[in-house]
Structure 1
Amino acid sequence: MSTQAFPAYFMRGGTSNGLVIDRKHLPKDESKWQPILASVMGSPDSYGRQLDGMGSGISSTSKIMVVSRSTRDDADVDATFVQVGIKDGSLDMAGNCGNMSSAVGPFALDAGLVAMKASRDSRLRVRMFNTNTAKVIVSEFSVDERGKYDPLGDYAIDGVPGTASHIALSFLDPAGAKTGKALPTGNAVDELQLEDASTIRASLTDIANPGVFVLASDVGVPGNINPDALGAYSNIMRRLEMIRRAGARRMGMDENTQSVPKIILLSPPSAEEAAQGINIICRALSMGQAHKAVPLTLALNLGASCGIPGTLANLTAIITDGKSSVVIGHASGKLGVGSVVQDGKIESALLHRTSRILMKGEVSYRTGG
């Protein structure tokens, strides 16, 4: 066994962090990525800690973005999101990550994949084609007087301490990212038959990334449950995985793919939460773990779903009529997401993030047996 190394950035994107890599440093054949990318993240790791790599044992920090110049007319760069299995080292590229998408534009500028164009307001727009979902995302962010990404600013997001510069992400034509339709079954609510012969109501929606939405009360937990407490209920976690798998089957997706669809528990806000402007409460699961916040692509899905008549999100959210944005309460705070709808079509989904380059250099991986 030996080790090799290649250039990489370690970045925070929203409430996630991970490696961002120029595709030219990886084999052209994606089937050869697994041993390399698993090793750099410290997987497989039966202890679940990824101490021998750049990961830190939770799904939101076991992530990689692979970026390259695009040959498409409608994009500046191509971006492929990779979720690395912590214990087994598997690579899951079925869906995208909204948080790490916010790191792509700053990386592309810093790495020389895009050039700064003259702008009176010192903002740069980078169009990225996400290969996981075959959708275009537009990232707009600040640059300094040298034409470099400027991470400093006064914008704050829940789940990240301090402030940073604002990054606006527009997910263009987000409906049907994996299944081709916002409502893959054609129904606002489906009755799912589970492996234990029980049933549960669920809304199956595919906007930015597919999701399975159920009511927290139908699962038997409070809507504001702490993620650690939710994760400790092994029987409920098993049931939620059964629900996720049943939803995947109904949408015509591979139920064994952990990254999509994800499952979200919904509940209405309390009077105190409503006074803070929150329209709906959610608790999310990602890769079999209770999420500390909410996966951003699922937040986009949830926000847009609140405007689809008859969905559980639409029936649960409060005071959303006529609004183009929805405030979602999650385990780490709240998040505002927006959508632009014209003639019943979702033209774009909008969210706001921050990002920072934490380190750049070389990352090493093991080779051989």
Structure 2
Amino acid sequence: MTKHKLPAVWMRAGTSKGLFIKREHLPVDQTKWIEPLLAAMGADSRQLNGVGGATSTTSKVAVVGKSAMEGVDVDYTFAQVSVGGEKVDFSGNCGNIASGVGPFAIQEGLVQQVKNGETKVHVRIFNTNTERIIIETVEVDDNGHVQEVGNYAMPGLHGITGSEVKVAFANPAGSMTGQLFPTSNPWDYLTISATETGCKPFTVRATLLDVANPFILVDASTLPFELQDSKRDDALYLSLVESIRREGAVRMGLAHYIEAAAQVRGTPKIAFLWSAPDDKANIRVRSFSMGKPHPSLQLTGAVCLGAGMCLPDTVPSRLANLAKRIGDKQELPTPSRTPSPVSLTGKQMLNHYATQTVKIEHPSGLIEVEVVTQYSLGNEGAQIQVERCIVSRTARRLFEGNIYFYL
């Protein structure tokens, strides 16, 4: 075996931590990244022989390099390194890790030199996983250095504040499937067979939505008894969650069959939704990552759920409305293949923009998402698009140097 050296930075970005690596320090062929990334993070179940933290939120990698695209500063590729599974998943993006890309790019000189007197820098990022643009607004000091210290507090850090990084996902719909609603429906029924779980067959109601990342957003009130406890995380519970996720993957066209869906744990992702119990939030969520409960909520999950709350007839939009009408047990109508905004007239819908800020409660606190939607009239009738979703994070450089590993 040969000893290798890999220059890298370890950063906390949002509620995740991971390696930030310059594109130039990895092989040109992306398929040859897998072995060095596994070795660097640690391929064992506790990642003791690498720098990974043995959880899905601390086993992440961002590869960043100057972009050749006009109007784009850097290209960013996200890699989810499995813990003990010897796999590296490039299928989706991580919004939390993405929030560190702007600061990293400035610190590493990958963006145009900051002009004197600027207090904020807008970094345009192309995420290669989803082929979407992310625009980050990063605060800098008088010398053009990234300002890490600040007063912005975000849930999941328990009292730790920092400088606000605004992360705007531009035109985030269709990140992997090419469609806002991969099934053409604002919501669907998913039936899980007994053979997959060892339990009785059951059916859940879910919105299959692809915004920033594809998500299966499940109405928790339709879950079977075995899944009603929102704090469970035993093997049976997680196997049932995974069964729903796999069925959703097939329905979204991300896998041809259930067995194939089992091979890609990173996408689609899955989350359970409840009406919020009070006025502090619009909805309550419990999401899952790589087969385990997420300690808070993926940033792309917040973006996808926030968008879903602002779209007509979806599970999240209905549950958000129910939060304001305690005790209302209104049933969802039969799925419509052409969801359209019914509250606007034809003239009003012509290039009409709507901006809403929604609040999502997750296990670590609250997150706000600003959602901009566009309504328009076309040859196919009324159309709705998610124009932009904006969230705020903080990020901090923890250490820099070289990782040594053997291959």
Cα shift readout 1:252-311 (whole Å, capped 9, x = no counterpart): 00313111111100001113xx2xx21100000000011000111011000010111111
Taking the TM superposition and a 5 Å limit, the aligned residue runs for 1:201-240 are: 201-219=205-223, 220=225, 225-226=230-231, 230-232=232-234, 234-240=235-241
Deviation at 1:204, TM superposition (A): 0.2
Identify the residue that residue 202 of structure 2 maps to in structure 1.
Answer: 198
Identify the residue that residue 266 of structure 2 maps to in structure 1.
Answer: 259
Distance 1:210 1:84 in 2: 19
Work out which of the residue numbers 47, 69, 72 in structure 1 matches 2:69. 72
* Contact 2:355/2:373, CA 8 A, preserved across alignment: no
Identify the residue that residue 360 of structure 2 maps to in structure 1.
Answer: 328
Matching residue's letter, 1:285: F
Cα shift readout 1:313-340 (whole Å, capped 9, x = no counterpart): 0111135998611110000111011111
- The number of aligned residues is 356
Report the identity percentage. 39
Q: Which stretches of structure 1, 4 residues or more, deviate above 4 A after TM superposition?
A: 221-224, 319-323
Identify the residue that residue 8 of structure 1 maps to in structure 2.
Answer: 8
Work out which of the residue numbers 298, 307, 310 in structure 1 matches 2:310. 307
Matching residue's letter, 2:310: G
Distance 1:245 1:252 in 2: 11
Cα shift readout 1:10-64 (whole Å, capped 9, x = no counterpart): 0000000000000100000111111100011011x1xx22111111111010000
Q: Give the secondary-structure state (helix, strand or coil) at the position aligned to 1:217.
A: helix
Name structure 1 gaps, 5 residues minimum.
Answer: none
Work out which of the residue numbers 351, 363, 366 in structure 1 matches 2:403. 363
CA RMSD of aligned residues (A): 1.8
Identify the residue that residue 25 of structure 1 maps to in structure 2.
Answer: 25
Work out which of the residue numbers 178, 181, 195 in structure 1 matches 2:179. 181
Distance 1:150 1:357 in 2: 11
Matching residue's letter, 1:262: K
Taking the TM superposition and a 5 Å limit, the aligned residue runs for 1:262-277 are: 262-271=269-278, 274=279, 277=280
Distance 2:35 2:265 in 1: 19
Task: Say if 2:172 is the partner of 1:132.
Answer: no
Which structure has the bigger radius of gyration? Answer: 2
Matching residue's letter, 2:373: V
Distance 2:150 2:312 in 1: 38
Distance 1:106 1:223 in 2: 41
Q: Give the secondary-structure state (helix, strand or coil) at the position aligned to 1:231.
A: coil
Distance 2:5 2:207 in 1: 45
Identify the residue that residue 391 of structure 2 maps to in structure 1.
Answer: 351
Name structure 2 gaps, 5 residues minimum.
Answer: 195-200, 256-260, 326-342, 344-353, 376-383
Deviation at 1:120, TM superposition (A): 4.6
* Contact 1:116/1:124, CA 8 A, preserved across alignment: no
Task: Say if 2:346 is the partner of 1:342.
Answer: no
Distance 1:289 1:140 in 2: 32
